[in-house]
Structure 1
């Protein structure tokens, strides 16, 4: 009874704090995390150190409550092994386990987030947005000291991150231990999770015939910035002026991409002629999309790509 009264008091005076704690408890439930570990592990095993304890310590660093893993481990009251053993456990964590943890947390949190955002409309009615981009650790104190100034050597891995802007949540992550692997190669695995009624937004690194036709085959929609060389679409009509948005003038034309064993894939090319050049000096941005014009007009597509920029993953 006393505990209920205390909780009620916190709910009354600081409801956001209580909601955040309950959300984290649901997403990072130790029993669920350890069960996930047993389900997804391949070479790792549990002896004294539970995977949930490792995740708890890493979480303290992630949210900024501790400056490093070493500091979090020293402050922990429940670490049953040495700090060296903890680092060994972290270093041997399998990439597929990391992905399963991110996906599982997103699935467990989605009902909670949806209940909070139930009155907010989707950015694009009828579609679930998926913004995908690569992430590398830059030269920093997280790299070995002798290599911090060398951009091309001993990079500390990379990942492809899938973000849902309507839920403000990362819903998938594809980690890769080789930082020199092309993002396009890692994307092949992510394509397997694409679903109908999803709208994927991506930069020109993902503008390849294989990726675009992969989304089409999975029934997903996409808006992708066109690469200068790939996929080399053929024009089906002359460019038409559509109108202006906040940053420039919008044009549209029909194009197609040849496919080896199927009919050509017809797409819309949206051109945004910028009023001001980008940091790289570019004045024209070309986007390829399979979204029907009845769902999104050219100006709306250009604005949606700008939304990708707003979450800090642009190139």
Structure 2
């Protein structure tokens, strides 16, 4: 597995020979098949093993082959299944298997990076920095059979990825196959991975009260961009005074505060001047019929003007 990738470097760089041995150990076919057996719930292995699928996809991901079909043709002598069976297997890989592949191989790869001295300097010693971000999985130009009669395309799935800057490796991933779901639907799964002395960094989408307070409860830390619409907690000493206020006094205070709000600053989009409508001229003696020829003439006149 992965031999085609390293063949390009073995002659020029002897270090690649060592790296090939280490990488081959991490992605050993026996290990990949054991990983599949451990985490798969519905899918099973028969003629096409999970290790063979990883081997084919590695050729595509690393740019050795342009597509899965090209990788299949390059490995056709070692495979006893058709392309249809291969695509069906790839489409049926369960999320738990994909997540386990990332998590288990990332541990060994992080050790490998540390062994060869490739770790980056820790800007905050004593803390394990983790960068979390969400992304939409890239769509495909191929139309699914179920939606070929519809104009709309399929919504892509989503993924929440955890990157560790020291090794520059993706160490964890949370996959969402429902295209209508938001990234926040998997926040509970992300929070289960939080450990003490972690430092989580993320954009404002992760700035929710539950996400922040759960990190704090687990004795971890966060550096997350503040969401504009989020209510920020204030010290108890600053809001205890409001407990003694009557309803009328609170209403008067709110009215006073509202006079200092400039609503124009919160407009999402200011309306400009209205455009004058071009009068439509109708010839009542002739019926109006739209044709391609008339549309082309209109476009040509528009370009000339």
TM normalised by structure 1 equals 0.65
Residue equivalent to 2:50: 51
Equivalents in 2 of 1:23, 1:199: separation in Å?
A: 30
Q: What residue in structure 2 maps to residue 130 of structure 1?
A: 130
- Give the count of matched residue pairs: 228
| Cα offsets for 1:98-129 (capped at 9, x unmatched) | 10000010012222111123775313211121
Post-superposition offset of 1:22: 3.2
- Specify the SS of the correspondent of 2:78: coil
Deviation of 1:220 after TM superposition, in Å, equals 1.9
CA radius of gyration, larger in = 2
Q: Distance in 1 between matches of 2:44 and 2:138?
A: 31
Of Structure 1 and Structure 2, which has the larger fraction of its residues in helix? 2
Change in 2 beyond 3 A, CA 1:38/1:140: closer
Q: Compared with structure 1, are the counterparts of its residues 18 and 218 closer, same or farther at alpha carbon in structure 2 (3 Å cutoff)?
A: farther
Structure 1 unpaired stretches of 5+: 1-6, 238-253, 255-315
- Structure 1 residue 169: deviation in Å? 0.5
Contact in 1 for aligned 2:130/2:198 (Cα 8 Å): yes
Alignment of 1:252-267 (within 5 A): none
Report how far residue 16 of structure 1 moved: 4.5
Change (3 A) 1:94 1:10: closer
1:17 aligns with 2:13: no
2:64 counterpart residue number = 65
1:241-295 Cα offsets, whole Å, 9 max, x none, are: xxxxxxxxxxxxx9xxxxxxxxxxxxxxxxxxxxxxxxxxxxxxxxxxxxxxxxx
The CA distance in 2 between the partners of 1:129 and 1:16, in whole Å, is: 30
Match of 2:95 in 1: 95
The superposition leaves residues 203-236 of structure 1 with CA deviations (integer Å, 9 ceiling, x where unpaired) of: 1111101111121222221111111112x11344
The runs of at least 4 aligned residues of structure 1 exceeding 4 Å deviation read 142-147
Distance 1:188 1:50, change over 3 A: same
CA distance 1:119–1:42, shift in 2 (3 Å): closer
**What value does the CA root-mean-square deviation take over the aligned residues?**
3.0
* TM-score normalised according to structure 2 size: 0.67
1:133-212 equivalent positions in 2, closer than 5 A? 133-138=133-138, 141=141, 153-212=153-212
Q: For residue 291 of structure 1, what is the aligned residue in structure 2?
A: none
| 2:109 is the alignment partner of 1:113 | no
Give how far 1:89 is off.
0.8
Q: Which has the higher strand share?
A: 1
